[in-house]
Structure 1
Amino acid sequence: MSRELELVEAFVGLADTLVVGFDVVEFLHDLVVRSVSLVDAQASGLLLSDATDQGLRFIAASTEQARMLELLQLQNEEGPALEAYRTGARVDVPDLGAHADRWPGLHQAMQDAGFASVQALPLRLRDRTLGAMTLFRTSPGRPDETDTAIAQGLADVATIGIINSRALEEQERLAEQLQAALNSRISIEQAKGMLAEYHGVEMEQAFEMLRRFSRNNNVRLSHVAAAVVRRETSTAELIPPRGHALH
């Protein structure tokens, strides 16, 4: 397959991030594997910030060697990916042999794995950095501008995909919360009606009865209302158990 066709497939794959059920881990794994075949690199790994942006986590690698080096970066709290993530800028080390003191805890491991140069690109959208992708190369030298542009384009695709995925998850979470709130409201209205009928009070007074019971027993109002509707014994002081007639 030509590089042009692979590029098209990689960027078209972005459309999949706009659908519910999108698997961000699989997407990022495919992306690091594609990055190796699309640019002059022998391995690739990706670190991603958690949802709270409190730190980086390993998410994908094209090889076991890359996975170990990504984990080693996290363990030592240093390395090209962490530097790219913290600065929001690309990191290029064309000759690891000439920079032995840059990441002391990682340098020897990269050379032992057979890598002679490394490049890390931030996953960044405007002023927000979500992680970094590392490209490991077995030959020294600075990558050409075309390869760097392609690699950054892939990192940008990953960034957009992650943001889309998190936005969809947030929408789903909010939709679930809204539905739960609507269901709770229905239970509350039903409970108010039952209490108003049984005790011969206004709906406002019935609501206050629910709230008072909720506060006195440290139980959520929605749970109290649901118990009333089900005539559970836990709310016997509000309404008689099932089988007793309402007045």
Structure 2
Amino acid sequence: MTAREELIADALVQLADTLVDDFDVIDFLHLLTERAVGLLDADAAGIMLADQRGGLEVLAASSHEVHLIELFELQNQEGPCLEAFRTGAAVTRTDLAEMRAAWPSFTERLEQAGFASAQAVPMRLRDEVIGALNVFRVTPGPLDGSDMKLARALADVATVGLLQERAIHARERLAEQLQGALNSRVLIEQAKGVLAERTGLEVDRAFAVMRTHARRSGIPLHAVAERVVRGGADLELDLGTA
């Protein structure tokens, strides 16, 4: 087995492992974005999941800029992630001209952020689509065939993991959990800004510091964010190693 094959195998195992007592949806989805960027010929990734009403919400992104792009996509109701969720099929365009024709506002915003390509794969199991994984590149053109297959595999395994957790702990519990994750996302966004202003860190770096502290201390990420927003002085965040 090659080193890359080992990394792919490890990623699939990690994404399948959702049956743990302290399962954290937000951290799980960020893991999916990290593995997508690390294993694919991609520079960034974001995830939207359906809420209790069937609408999409941005729940994870590999950077603050990507989070803003994903929000823009939702607000303007155009882009590959929305299309993948609606159709249940992978969505890509061969070049910027096709992207501008399909998603003019989204593509303009994408280029402003320094990206030249975006595609999405649905997070689905059979006929049930629960969201979509968006993949961004700074170079033009879509992912090649093998990378697109891997993107589908990552999304599929993550979907099975989420639905498995739902089946065992009941559909209503996961719906509440996803709503809780959305509420946590709002709090985490506030905390990122507070910590960035307090320390002078970039927003993405501030998030990394909070996430590292949560993992090391065993405190849920949303609890760390709440303490940051409240101005807790006992966080002892390790700014040097996050």
Q: TM-score, normalised by structure 1?
A: 0.65
User: Residue 116 of structure 1 aligns to which amino acid in structure 2?
Assistant: A
Matches within 5 A, 1:160-171: 160-170=160-170
Which aligned segments of 4 or more residues in structure 1 are displaced greater than 3 angstroms? Answer: none
Which one has a bigger Cα radius of gyration? 1
RMSD after superposition: 1.9
For residues 84-104 of structure 1, what are the alpha-carbon distances to aligned partners after superposition, in whole Å with 9 as ceiling and x for unaligned? 000111101231244323222
For 1:117, the equivalent position in structure 2 comes to 117
Q: Corresponding residue for 2:104?
A: 104
Are 1:35 and 2:36 matched, yes or no?
Answer: yes
The CA deviation string for residues 26-60 of structure 1, in whole angstroms up to 9 with x for no partner, is: 111011111011010000000000144x2101111
Q: CA deviation at 1:169?
A: 3.4
Sequence identity percentage: 48
What amino acid maps onto 2:152 in structure 1? Q
Unaligned runs of 5+ in 2: 174-242
CA distance in 1, matches of 2:105, 2:166: 33
- Equivalence for 1:18: 19
Contact 1:119–1:135 (CA<8 Å) still a contact in 2? Answer: yes
Amino acid across the alignment from 1:43: A
Q: 5 Å matches for 1:69-148?
A: 69-148=69-148
Can you give the 5+ residue segments of structure 1 that lack an aligned partner in the other structure?
174-247
TM-score, normalised to structure 2's length? 0.66
Shift of residue 172 of structure 1? 9.2
Partner of 2:51 in structure 1?
A: 50
Residues 122 and 78 from structure 1, CA distance in 2 versus in 1: closer, same or farther, beyond 3 angstroms?
Answer: same
Deviations 1:92-134 (A, max 9, x none): 1231244323222211110111111111000010011111101
Q: Distance in 2 between matches of 1:100 and 1:172?
A: 40
Distance (whole Å) between structure 2 residues aligned to residue 171 and residue 142 of structure 1: 35
Residue 161 of structure 1 aligns to which amino acid in structure 2?
G
**Any idea what the Cα deviations from partners look like across 1:162-212, whole Å, max 9, x if unmatched?**
212322432896xxxxxxxxxxxxxxxxxxxxxxxxxxxxxxxxxxxxxxx
**Residue in structure 2 matched with residue 8 of structure 1 by the alignment:** 9
Q: Work out which structure has the larger RCO, using CA pairs closer than 8 Å and 6 or more positions apart in sequence.
A: 2
Q: CA deviation at 1:15?
A: 4.2
Contact 1:122/1:133 (<8 A) preserved = yes
- Tell me how many residue pairs correspond in the alignment: 172
